[in-house]
Amino acid sequence: MILVAGSTGLVGGEICRLLAEEGKEFKALVRQTSDPEKVKSLKEMGAEVVYGDLKDPGSLQSACKGCQTVISTASCTLSRQEGDSIQTVDRDGQLSLVDVAKNQGAEHFIFISFPELSPDIPLEQAKREVEASIQESGMKYTILQPVYFMEVWFSPAVGFDFPQKQVQVFGLGDNKVRWISYNLPSRKL
């Protein structure tokens, strides 16, 4: 069994779609406050929906129970709900998930992070602490550090508002940027 934390997000949702397409059994960790349409979609694709919150370590016990693999894409960066912050979700919540996964017998932890940017960025500090915890956990691990997701950076959430013909450019706009897409065409591997 596979647990996907962040299953209602952009990348987590795509991972769930791919798991379903491959016929894999998986749990989708959602919050009580998650978008009902996204939860319905997860159920329709065959996910076992489990309710929990990274800010509530006790709720992660049953979510991780029976899971050999945990995949975490969760972050507070776009979902901002009450009490969400880099400290509570991206650091403390992820560290709790690593501990609970290990204690529940998970064998493999897959974590979505990002490459080094600046040691002064709180989100990067949180990601590096979680990476270290995963590496020291004794579980097999995969830490992915993708660059800029087009679906995130080319969205109104980050300053690219095409319908309003407004774009916010960070810096001078002359730096080379490597873009990637999380949206893969549907295909069997």
Where are the chain's structural domains? 2-146, 148-189
- 57/37 Cα distance (integer angstroms): 25
Q: Sort 82 into a burial class: Cβ within 10 Å, 0-12 / 13-18 / 19+.
A: exposed
Q: Is the pLDDT of residue 153 over 70?
A: no
CB 93 within 8 A of CB 54: yes
- Give the confidence band of 49 by pLDDT, cuts at 50, 70, 90: very high
- Give the confidence band of 136 by pLDDT, cuts at 50, 70, 90: very high
Percentage of the chain surpassing pLDDT 90?
60
- 144/89 Cα distance (integer angstroms): 18
Q: Is the pLDDT of residue 23 over 60?
A: yes
- The H-or-E segment that residue 132 falls in is helix 122-136
Under CATH, which number does the domain 2-146 receive?
3.40.50.720
- Of residues 140 and 166, more confidently modeled: 140
Residue with tokens 């509530």: 56
pLDDT at 167: 76
